[in-house]
Amino acid sequence: MRLERDGQVAVATMDRGENRFHPDHLTEIEEALDEIESMEGSPAAVLTGEGKFFSLGLDLDWMGAADPAEAMASVERTMTLLARVLTAPFATVAAVNGHAFGGGAMLALACDARVMREDRGYVCFPEVDVDLVFLPGMSALIAGRLTPRQPTRRC
């Protein structure tokens, strides 16, 4: 995780490849948020990734090899992170530089605003395709941030 400051704007760049959430990566994000919260004045945060990935969400490989209690603790920690970003005492913007899947898409939704180039990556919830059940907080975040799709009209 790189944290760069330009006046009152802090740019936090996730730089772990696919930026999958596992304990070490979650710690880095939490520490970046701690530093931004400690800034004087009215800071704003831009959260982005590097290369072609914003975040692919939970690190399922790590979770599959971890003790089930540790894996569940990582999911709970991810939920706490989403809640923290959603209620941050400073403005948050997700600069979605590439693919944002599952928990990575939820992290972008937890921010106050999102920007993404049309031609750079996908935002999706693969959990839907494999019939995984979202936790209540996940469902509430998705329903609260996404509006029902409306047909677009081009002039």
Contact predicate 62/22, CB 8 Å: yes
70-104: pLDDT as tens digits: 999 999 999 999 999 999 999 999 999 999 999 99
Say yes or no to pLDDT of 113 above 70.
yes
Query: Which one-letter amino acid corresponds to residue 3?
Result: L
Q: For residue 137, what pLDDT is reported?
A: 83
Would you list the domain boundaries of the chain?
Answer: 2-145
Structure tokens at 67: 């003790």
Q: Which CATH architecture has domain 2-145?
A: Alpha-Beta Complex (3.90)
Would you place residue 154 in the very low, low, confident or very high pLDDT band (cuts 50, 70, 90)? low
In terms of Cα–Cα distance, which of 63, 32, 34, 72 is closest to 49?
Answer: 32
Cα–Cα distance, 5 to 14 (Å, whole number):
15
Would you place residue 149 in the very low, low, confident or very high pLDDT band (cuts 50, 70, 90)? low
Q: Look at the pTM and tell me if it is higher than 0.95.
A: no
Contacts 24+ apart (CB under 8 A), 116-123: 120/52, 121/52, 121/53, 121/54, 121/96, 121/97, 123/96, 123/99
Contact predicate 25/14, CB 8 Å: yes
